Amino acid sequence: MKKNTRIYCSQKLIMSSQILLEKKQSHYIKNVMRLDEGNFLSLFNENDGEYNCQIVKITKDNIELKILDKTKNITNNYKLSLAFCPPKKVKLDVLMQKATELGIKSFHPLISNRTINRDLNIQRLKKIIIETIEQSDQVKIPQIENPVKFNSFIDKISCDDNSLLFVGDINCSDELVFKDHFDSSKNLFILIGPEGDFDEEEMKAINNCKNAVKFSLGKSILRSETAAISAISIFNYLTRQI
């Protein structure tokens, strides 16, 4: 069975109500997806869940929908966030897309001494996240925070007993025994370093962080986007074992 076209809609979604989509979304539905009056599609957002809707009226600039029934609720799984030093644009796009597909709940860009990409277009990255959520059949939209300095982030984690920081380290031979650390009530972060890794002082700060747990991602030196995908995949696998 073919799935409905999915559209992120920030407006309040209420069963049996009617909603008017903005011009840009209306253009996409009408001219790209080629949907017509009477056709069905899905609207969703991170607050209301996902709803099956029917197109009741198409005008030059807008589309009016009737919200029929709820098809998906918001689920509150464990919160896994990605703290990362942004790589160059193309690699960053891949990182954002794949981490979103794999279920990351929030992104925390860090400016370390070796961070290459320090001038992020947050609005462009939000657009990538929403497009990925639409395509990957998810509902919850990951948040992306404004960039902060690495030292500020690591100091905050070290002082917060409600947070755990998981660090993939090529010099660490320990496999992650996730059940020894997993706590669904805590904020869990994966830390991914910049190209060239963290410098000596930054590694010292990580070693001194009392809420940091090091683990191995294998013997190969991974690109930052590959390390992120690998680490998130490991976490997703291990949480299914608990």
> How many whole angstroms separate alpha carbon 60 and alpha carbon 13?
23
Q: Which domain holds residue 139?
A: 80-240
The domain boundary residue, chosen from 44, 72, 100:
72
> 86 and 61 in one domain?
no
> 107 and 86 in one domain?
yes
> 126 and 198 in one domain?
yes
- Total-model pTM: 0.85
> 158 and 66 in one domain?
no
Residues linked to residue 44 through DSSP beta bridges, in sequence order: 8, 50
pLDDT digits (tens, 9 = 90+) for 37-92: 999 999 998 889 999 999 999 998 899 999 999 998 876 666 889 999 999 989 99
> 93 and 10 in one domain?
no
* CATH number of the domain that residue 112 is part of: 3.40.1280.10
Judge contact between 87 and 195, C-beta under 8 A.
yes
Burial of 116 (0-12, 13-18, 19+ CB in 10 A): middle
pLDDT digits (tens, 9 = 90+) for 199-221: 999 999 999 998 998 887 877 88
> How many whole angstroms separate alpha carbon 223 and alpha carbon 69?
44
**Domain assignment present for 1:** no
| 55 contact partners, CB below 8 Å, separation of at least 6 | 29, 35, 36, 37, 38, 39, 40, 41, 63, 64, 65
> 205 and 119 in one domain?
yes
**What is the count of structural domains for the chain?**
2
